[in-house]
Structure 1
């Protein structure tokens, strides 16, 4: 039986949580997720080819929502693996320039091939009036001057535009990931806002404390029902609090094996809040 969107998303998130704990670092995590997602995509294809769809609504849902979630994450983790394994150093100016170059390339790709397209505006606006054209098989209009990639796809398992949605998802994830690799203080253009209130915010505890808090929020699903990944949380946190966060995964793995309490900052937060509550009694 074909899996629902909710089941697919949950399954992917569970694997991400599993590998973030069991893998030795980001490279191994990216590799394991790539293997998992590739297998998930293959099994989804086998199901579609053997069973088809009960109606047009289910076909549109699959190619607009379900397949792009799998393929988008697959593109993202494969690219992440390639970037990480080709990184020349662990820190310093060369490290910064390496990731800055990748970020610039991503921005150029977005501006030249994605953001100005009619389909991108259609997808981002949440429209559904052309879903029959974009997300049903056999509806490709070659007169639109499509990318040559269209000739390589399997017409029984793609509408062409499901791949475009997957690329949008992958690019969003890559953008957040690359931001985590670049020190915010050296790149003021990546800040969300220029308001005085935002500029005055800063994290005054340790980096490990912030990383511990981020992982707690991620593991609990407290933000957007757990749909925001740890890398996006890292990007948001370092920009919001003007705190550069590098080597986040290794820092988290060290926390898991440290002596005494593994949640030092959360324990401290609980104690501080209880003491503050007692003052009002």
Structure 2
């Protein structure tokens, strides 16, 4: 496999360098995005040409290509197209403010994540048990990936297109977030809301807003409140009141933590801290 992987290193490195040059050298947004789209198109055509002229050394190599190589470039191709469409409507006077367009796109992305939750979990958790079903040609199943255009049997599998779409949406969430919240960081400390009345307790929540949101979604999905019937809105309101923080942007924060490499980072830290305490008590 290492020798096979090196086959595409030169192409992907060249592709990345060209994108970096375009991003840094072109001041006009739409021109820059169009240039990046063309760069991705050319790289995808190169990949397809290679597939037409060569055979994969083995099943693991084919899976690697359609899971680790093609979707990465395809995701950028889709990502830049989405950015272009977001902005062109605004620049052409569609009647929607930039903020409204961005927020509407976030809602669309959230629905797409929800509609493809099983496949998204498979990708984010690094699972491999269905790789031959998702990333090998000839194993196409429209029930698994009904939205994938499978007419190109040479260069498509059941899962590579959907994987690219998910990866593109993750990139787009980060892009939109930098526009809507340029100063907000994932590690932003949870601050006391001035409009809330003071309480007698001297305890103050020093976790980040993102950590609280991660906790809230975990509590909802494990059925912690009302036998699982409590809405996320109710839970966030409860946490906001209990911790005296502002969680009005909890949904946006959820999209950001969902795009992280480890979406459950805070929960993992909680578990590790508890285990350390248990072990120290045993000692």
TM normalised by structure 1 equals 0.59
**In terms of Rg, which structure is larger?**
2
> Which residue matches 2:223?
none
> Which residue matches 1:38?
41
Q: Which of the pair is proportionally richer in helix?
A: 1
Greater relative contact order (CA < 8 Å, ≥ 6 in sequence)? 1
Distance 1:192 1:138, change over 3 A: farther
Distance 1:184 1:31, change over 3 A: closer
> Which residue matches 2:153?
155
Distance 1:123 1:133, change over 3 A: same
CA displacement at 1:109 relative to structure 2: 2.3
Q: Which runs of 5+ in 2 are unaligned?
A: 192-205, 210-251, 257-283
1:160-208, CA deviations, whole angstroms, 9 ceiling, x for partnerless residues?
A: 20111101110001111111221468xx8x96666355779xxxxxxxx
* 1:74 equivalenced with 2:73 (yes/no): no
> Which residue matches 1:173?
171
Contact kept? 2:72, 2:164, Cα under 8 Å: yes
Where does 1:246-257 land on structure 2 (aligned, <5 Å)? none
Q: Which runs of 5+ in 1 are unaligned?
A: 201-234, 240-281
Query: Partners of 2:5 and 2:74 in 1: how far apart?
Result: 16
> Which residue matches 2:190?
195
CA RMSD in angstroms, aligned pairs only: 3.3
CA displacement at 1:95 relative to structure 2: 2.6
CA displacement at 1:121 relative to structure 2: 1.7
* 1:16 equivalenced with 2:19 (yes/no): yes
Query: Partners of 1:105 and 1:126 in 2: how far apart?
Result: 24
- Give the SS at the match of 1:13: helix
TM normalised by structure 2 equals 0.59
> Which residue matches 1:127?
127
Query: Partners of 1:21 and 1:52 in 2: how far apart?
Result: 37
CA displacement at 1:40 relative to structure 2: 0.8
Contact kept? 2:145, 2:162, Cα under 8 Å: no
Distance 1:159 1:16, change over 3 A: same
How many residues are paired up? 193
